[in-house]
Structure 1
Amino acid sequence: MDVVDWELMLRLVAAGVLGAVIGIERQWRARMAGLRTNLLVAVGSALFVLLSAYGFVGDPGTADPTRVAAQIVSGIGFLGAGVILREGFNIRGLNTAATLWCAAAVGSLAGAGMYILAVAGTLLIVGANTAMRPLGRLLDRRRAMRRTRYRFEVTCSEDEQAHVRKLIVSALTRPELRLRSLHSHESDIRGKVEVHAIVDSLRRDENLFESATSRLSLEPTITSVNWTVEEDEDDEDES
């Protein structure tokens, strides 16, 4: 099927406009991948789709329009990985990376001439990044009403058990933490004791336990310090 040049240009412009619509929302919220990035991703995807569909008409036996489109899906992952940042135990940029991936899909649809799906996809993407934000905050507040239970384990010399127990209580004494139990038992290592503390946290913040771990690890009598998350449960006994 022959497609005139203006039709190809229309597809390319449509990809650019829809990519810009997606990027405006990201730019407004000061995300790393904003207007230009999303526009370029959508236009680039459309160009690759047009190339794969109409750039090899002289060799119809080997041309495969779906091959380039499939490579776009995997290739955009490298660009998305560049906007994902890890800050301590928190990860930022996942939503921006997913938006870039979706912008590539919108550009591919526009390049294939599927305008209705491209527009619908754009509306859904922008809606997910805007209208769904209040719902996300609501779920975050609901999460804040739940408590997380941690197990804090310290291995120390038997003679210093009482001192280490005091250090654990001091390290875990915070307004947002609630010490449920503290008990000791003999370790498999001769002359060592394991002290276990069960702690409830009104908010899940591993940085609190990393700070306590750093403080206790400086003690020469302590062999090892570690903590694990046991479970999340509703904080029903809070008044």
Structure 2
Amino acid sequence: MGTLAWWEVPARLGLALALGAGIGLERQWRSRMAGLRTNALVSTGAALFVLFSALTPGDNSPTRIASYVVSGVGFLGAGVIIRDRGNLRGINTAATVWGTAGVGVMAGGGHYPVAALGAVTIVLANVVLRPVAQRVDRREVQRDARPRSFRLRAVCRDAEEAHIRALVVQSVAAGGFALCALDSEDIGGTGRVAVTARLVGQDSGQLEQAVSRLSLEPGISSVSWRVGDDEEEP
């Protein structure tokens, strides 16, 4: 078998299969799309390509073959990434498949300790870093969930004041905001009134939608909002 001993090919393939299966077992346990068989096949396939370069005389450089493997696995990894309601899912599984190919390349090249170390590192990254990532996500959600104060200001004609006040109350209630105060102030000499609402809520996107709806009212000349209510409107 070229420059390889008779036992090296099955040893390299066996190691690639075992290490890929070990990585895939963790993915299978967590019910991910690319599980036991997928990772085992990716690792074995990568090892076969590298073995081909080792068994074929000529200029079939193992490093060049490895670069082709990386490109091919990139397309495979893209297949496990799906878009769900604007969010991407499966990126971690795709990265795992990509790393599994690297383990197979190392095993196919005869670098047994490095291949084993790579497989262990990938599994540890998926197992150990998972609770760390979840804890960071929970802190981010808790931080975003804290209520904030907002100030909404709408300028309208005097005759439309009562109607606009009712619309403001209706809009902020529909957005899930708690209304703390609702004030009206005459803008001297203009025949207009500034209706100011002080609110408490979480989602500024809902407030933006409420402002957009109010801006369509013919009696309103301007409407705006900002975070906080401790400063006077200029």
Report the TM-score, using the length of structure 2 for normalisation.
Answer: 0.68
1:75 deviates by: 1.7
The aligned residue for residue 109 of structure 1 is 106
Q: Secondary structure at the match of 1:131?
A: helix
Give, in whole Å, the separation in 1 of the partners of 2:70 and 2:95.
12
1:139 equivalent to 2:142? Answer no
Q: Of 71, 76, 86, which aligns to 2:73?
A: 76
Give, in whole Å, the separation in 1 of the partners of 2:97 and 2:142.
33
The aligned residue for residue 35 of structure 1 is 36
**Cα root mean square deviation, aligned:** 4.1
AA aligned to 2:42 is V
1:76 deviates by: 0.9
Q: Output aligned runs, 1:62-73, within 5 Å.
A: 63-73=60-70
The aligned residue for residue 226 of structure 1 is none
1:19 deviates by: 0.1
> Are the counterparts in 2 of residues 12 and 111 from structure 1 also a CA contact under 8 Å?
yes
> Are the counterparts in 2 of residues 46 and 111 from structure 1 also a CA contact under 8 Å?
yes
Q: Structure 2 vs 1, CA of residues 143 and 180 (structure 1 numbering), >3 Å: closer, same or farther?
A: farther
Structure 1: stretches of 5+ with no match in the other structure:
183-196, 223-229, 231-239
Q: Secondary structure at the match of 2:80?
A: coil
> Are the counterparts in 2 of residues 147 and 200 from structure 1 also a CA contact under 8 Å?
no
CA deviations on 1:158-199 (whole Å, 9 max, x unpaired) are 98865653453133216xxx78999xxxxxxxxxxxxxx998
AA aligned to 1:76 is V
AA aligned to 1:4 is A
Q: Output aligned runs, 1:175-190, within 5 Å.
A: none
CA deviations on 1:87-146 (whole Å, 9 max, x unpaired) are 113321111111100100100110011111111111111111112222222212222331
Q: Of 170, 173, 179, which aligns to 2:173?
A: 170
Q: Output aligned runs, 1:110-129, within 5 Å.
A: 110-129=107-126
1:79 deviates by: 0.9
1:52 deviates by: 2.2
> Are the counterparts in 2 of residues 81 and 97 from structure 1 also a CA contact under 8 Å?
yes
Greater Cα radius of gyration, structure 1 or 2: 2
1:66 deviates by: 1.4
Report the TM-score, using the length of structure 1 for normalisation.
Answer: 0.66
The aligned residue for residue 55 of structure 2 is 54
Alignment length (residue pairs): 201
Q: Secondary structure at the match of 2:7?
A: helix
The aligned residue for residue 15 of structure 1 is 16
AA aligned to 1:17 is A
Q: Secondary structure at the match of 1:147?
A: helix
1:86 deviates by: 1.6
> Are the counterparts in 2 of residues 181 and 199 from structure 1 also a CA contact under 8 Å?
no
Which structure dedicates a bigger proportion of its chain to helix?
A: 2
User: How high is the sequence identity, in percent, across the aligned residues?
Assistant: 44
Q: Structure 2 vs 1, CA of residues 139 and 180 (structure 1 numbering), >3 Å: closer, same or farther?
A: farther
